[in-house]
Amino acid sequence: MKNGENYNSSRRSFVKGIAASLLLVPFLQFCTDKIAVLMIRLSGTKHLLGHRLWIKDFPEITSHIQTSYLIVGGGISGLSAARQLTKKGISDFILVELEDHLGGNSSNGENQYSKYPLGAHYLPLPNFQDKELLHFLEEEKIILGYDTKGLPVFDELQLTFAPDERLFYKNSWQEGVVPKEGNTAAEDAELKTFFKQMDFYRSAKGEDGKYLFDIPLALSSADEITRALDQITMKEWFERNNFKSEPLFNYIDYCCKDDFGLGIEYVSAWAGIHYFAGRKQDSSSDKKDSVLTWPEGNARLATHLKKYTKDKVLKNHLVFDLKIENNKVIAKTFDDHKKRTVAIIADKVIMATPQFVNQYIIKDRKEFTKEFHYTPWLLATLVVSDLADNFSFPLSWDNIIYGSKGLGYVYDQHQSVSQLQTKKVITYYYSFSGPDLKKTRKEIYKKKTEYWKQMVFDDLKMAHPDIESVTEEMNVFVLGHGMISPVPGFIFGEAKKQASKNIEKLIYFAHTDLSGISIFEEAFHHGINIVNQILDDTTLDS
């Protein structure tokens, strides 16, 4: 019959021909396209220098500095302490910072198109009772005045522009973060019940007359019933309330990760509810859940605070040992630029550093520090030539992809008043939620740039299939200890109490991890409160 061999060879060469022409396609494409090289960079906090605290191979002391107050750590709590000292008329203080810039988690980067956040990126409208914060915002012209009802008037340019949020859900973008279009009636009903419950918690007060959930967290009620919520995870709470729907579960999971780094399965239910109920939404009559934001994120707020530390900052300095001698504190400090050690002799020390660092600087702190868990974070800032999607809802400030592993992305130029951007800059957020954060952290440090690049692309592809081909630049920023994680039992636990106690009224502790949740308001108040406490203690003593 047929000459099989002959036939097959001709078919083979035919298929080969097709294969060859297919192989040529990308090359043809390559010729027509402008050659776009993806610039990619990986950076993070100075964990390598920080890790030298384990072995402490620092040189001997070669010089001495005297000061009344030493602030260790230039994040928001340290900066806020500097502001409060200044307000109290104290100018003899020094602030020491390990990094080459101030701001901590409120830092930023910048490329030729835009500034972008390297951490926290917004501040919800403050509670009306939080006069300290309102006052600060007024000082910095974020609040421009007060209206006839006595409510603050926020600067239009610093409130998030509309449209502020969109969600990629069921293959199209919809307005807002809560899944709305495409839910079943049962799912909608659950969402409604949930928000009703949160409304209740927002205004509910305990037997002691305090809000059950307040900001700063320390003002919250001591009510035993609500504190029991800190013993279970948010997921257990979800189940105990007979919630079942997937959109609600995903939404809560997103919110928990967004504020605490930990997902619904690992975060304390008290913290989870605090996310919704802590903010009273009472300082604006129409923009209740609005937030303040800037292209550089909360680095803007850090910049406002920095002015109080002018000429009083030692950057690239690492305090590696703290000892009390003759009623003074001696802080051995390594100058990473000059590679030498300075002894700072201070009357009082404010440790605005996280407890995982403090345990290596001050003795006898390892035991309770074990209870402090920190979630790693990853931020990737992308410069894209275009950000086409299916145009179901326009690009917003916060863009969340339902069911994605990350937390979506922020459009960094959203607060620009200009009509068009030649390139768009977006910052993608990812928190490494999980049961064993230490293990996760170790794995993160092993990963290469290429791995993160692919992870970011794969996640964004759900909503932007062509993201890889439109990205021109990517800056990946990894934070090993991104933020304190309120695991069950931590917020009202013993470890937090132990860690907050001052040492002989000489060394005081003010970092946000002592709140159990990492938000600007907590840091801001820690700074103020610690200075007030030191001054109170001093007056009482004298």
Partner 1 sequence: MGKKFIKFEFLLLFAVFIIATCGLVYELVAGTLASYLLGDSVKQFSFIIGVYLFSMGIGSFFSKFFNKNLLNTFVEIEILVGLIGGLSSVILFLLFESVGSFQLILYLLVFVTGFLVGLEIPLLMNILKDKVEFKDLVSNVFTFDYIGALLASILFPLILVPKLGIMGTSLFFGMINISIAIVLCFLLKSELKRSYFLKVKAIFSFLLLLTVFIFSENILSYSEGKLYGENIIYTHSTPYQRIVLTHNKSDYRLYLNNNLQFSSADEYRYHEALVHPVMSIAKNVSHVLVLGGGDGLAVREILKYKNVKTVTLVDLDQGMTKLFETNKVLTDLNGNSLNNPKVTVINTDAYIWAKSCKVKFDVAIIDFPDPSNYSLGKLYSLNFYQTVQRILQPDAAVVIQTTSPYFAPKSFWCINKTVMAVFPQVDAYHAYVPSFGEWGFTIAINGFNTTFNTVNRQASGLKFYNYQFDRYNYFTKDMISNEIEINRLDNQILVRYFDEEW
Other beta carbons less than 10 A from residue 202's beta carbon: 18
Strands 143-146 and 291-293: unpaired
H or E segment and range at residue 333: strand 328-335
- Closest approach, Cβ 8 to partner 1, in A, equals 11
Residue 324, token pair as written in the block: 């009390």
- Residues in Cβ contact with 381 at an 8 Å cutoff, skipping those fewer than 6 apart: 109, 111, 116, 412, 425, 426, 427, 428, 474, 475, 477
- Closest approach, Cβ 152 to partner 1, in A, equals 14
Nearer to partner 1, 384 or 499 (CB): 384
Asked whether position 5 contacts partner 1 by CB under 8 A, the answer is no
Q: 59, 182, 394, 435: which one contacts partner 1 (CB under 8 A)?
A: 394
- The window from 4-12, 54-62, 201-209, 377-385 that contacts partner 1 (CB under 8 A) reads 4-12
Q: Cα dist. 39→314, 449, 477 in Å?
A: 33, 11, 14
Asked whether position 417 contacts partner 1 by CB under 8 A, the answer is yes
- The window from 101-109, 156-164, 299-307, 455-463 that contacts partner 1 (CB under 8 A) reads 156-164
Q: 49, 86, 163, 328: which one contacts partner 1 (CB under 8 A)?
A: 163
- Closest approach, Cβ 375 to partner 1, in A, equals 31
Residue 207 DSSP code: T
Q: 20, 22, 23, 31: which one contacts partner 1 (CB under 8 A)?
A: 22
- Residues in Cβ contact with 60 at an 8 Å cutoff, skipping those fewer than 6 apart: 341
What's the CA gap between 201 and 195, in Å, rounded? 10
- The window from 269-277, 337-345, 371-379, 413-421 that contacts partner 1 (CB under 8 A) reads 413-421
What's the helix, strand, coil split of the chain in %, to 5?
35, 25, 40
Asked whether position 10 contacts partner 1 by CB under 8 A, the answer is yes
H or E segment and range at residue 67: strand 61-72
- The window from 151-159, 324-332, 492-500, 504-512 that contacts partner 1 (CB under 8 A) reads 151-159
Asked whether position 159 contacts partner 1 by CB under 8 A, the answer is yes
Question: Largest Cα–Cα distance of the chain, in whole Å?
Answer: 114
Nearer to partner 1, 10 or 203 (CB): 10
| Residues composing the chain | 542
Residue 542, token pair as written in the block: 């004298």
Asked whether position 167 contacts partner 1 by CB under 8 A, the answer is no
- Closest approach, Cβ 420 to partner 1, in A, equals 7
Q: Cα dist. 221→128, 495, 500 in Å?
A: 18, 19, 19
Nearer to partner 1, 217 or 291 (CB): 291
Nearer to partner 1, 164 or 230 (CB): 164
- The window from 70-78, 101-109, 164-172, 199-207 that contacts partner 1 (CB under 8 A) reads 164-172
Q: 113, 161, 243, 249: which one contacts partner 1 (CB under 8 A)?
A: 161
Q: 2, 339, 446, 448: which one contacts partner 1 (CB under 8 A)?
A: 2
Q: What values do phi and psi take at 470, rounded to 5?
A: -100, -5
Residues that bind partner 1 (CB under 8 A): 1-3, 6-7, 10-11, 14-15, 18, 21-22, 25, 28-29, 32, 156-157, 159-164, 171-172, 286-287, 290, 390, 394, 417-420
